[in-house]
Amino acid sequence: MAHLVTEGEIDELSRGVYRRADAPERAHADLLAVCARAPRAVLCGESALRPV
């Protein structure tokens, strides 16, 4: 994975969580990383308002 990050093919959102570099930008990339690690987590703020 490290060579893909170095070459700019992927972006690391957090440790072990990656996204394609050409993927559309998201306003809450940090929330995507949290959801990837803990899909059943409940977050406060905007994410808590989202129906499950």
Tokens 């995507």 label which residue?
Answer: 32
What is the arithmetic mean of pLDDT over 21-48? Answer: 78
Q: What is the rounded CA–CA span in Å between residue 5 and residue 41?
A: 27
What per-residue confidence (pLDDT) applies to 25?
81
Q: What is the rounded CA–CA span in Å between residue 17 and residue 36?
A: 7
What per-residue confidence (pLDDT) applies to 46?
64
Query: Residue 49 — pLDDT band, cuts 50, 70, 90?
Result: low
Q: Which of 13, 47, 15, 16 is CA-nearest to residue 30?
A: 13
Q: What is the rounded CA–CA span in Å between residue 38 and residue 30?
A: 12
Residue 15 sits at φ, ψ, to 5 deg, of -55, 115
In the predicted model, is pLDDT for residue 8 greater than 80? yes
In the predicted model, is pLDDT for residue 19 greater than 80? yes
